[in-house]
Structure 1
Amino acid sequence: ALNGFEGNDCPHVCIEDQHYVHQTHEEANSVLRELALTLAVLEKLDIKRRIDQCQSCEAASL
């Protein structure tokens, strides 16, 4: 029981709080998802950069 209120006795403020917490949680999740995608892209760019470096080293040593 939140704030000592049961089910339907739950005051409007309590329900608003629950909605706010849920919304904040959703926003946090989408931010984390975007961050994860950004990190994945950066990682791929870094791997590509390393591959390019290797290829230019190989080309130079030929």
Structure 2
Amino acid sequence: MSIQDKIKEKLDLLQRSLIDGKHLTNPTDFASQLSSLSLYYKYMSDEDRDYVHCARVALEDQLVWEV
């Protein structure tokens, strides 16, 4: 599995968690997801980095994620 495949898999999981509101109901596990993505930050596209940043803001500010 390539690094890009791992990033995509982790971002897909992050997106699912955001949609399910896990950043509101289980912030500790959600923060762990974000931490695991930080290992790949230098390999991410700008778009992926922006998404992770927005997810972090949603966690910190306890914002509802609407698609």
Same fold (TM over 0.5): no
TM class by smaller structure = 0.3 to 0.5
The TM-score, its normalising length taken from structure 1, stands at: 0.36
Q: Which has the higher contact order (CA 8 A, sep 6+)?
A: 2
In terms of fraction of residues, the more helix-rich structure is 1
The TM-score, its normalising length taken from structure 2, stands at: 0.34
Which of 1 and 2 has greater Rg?
Answer: 1
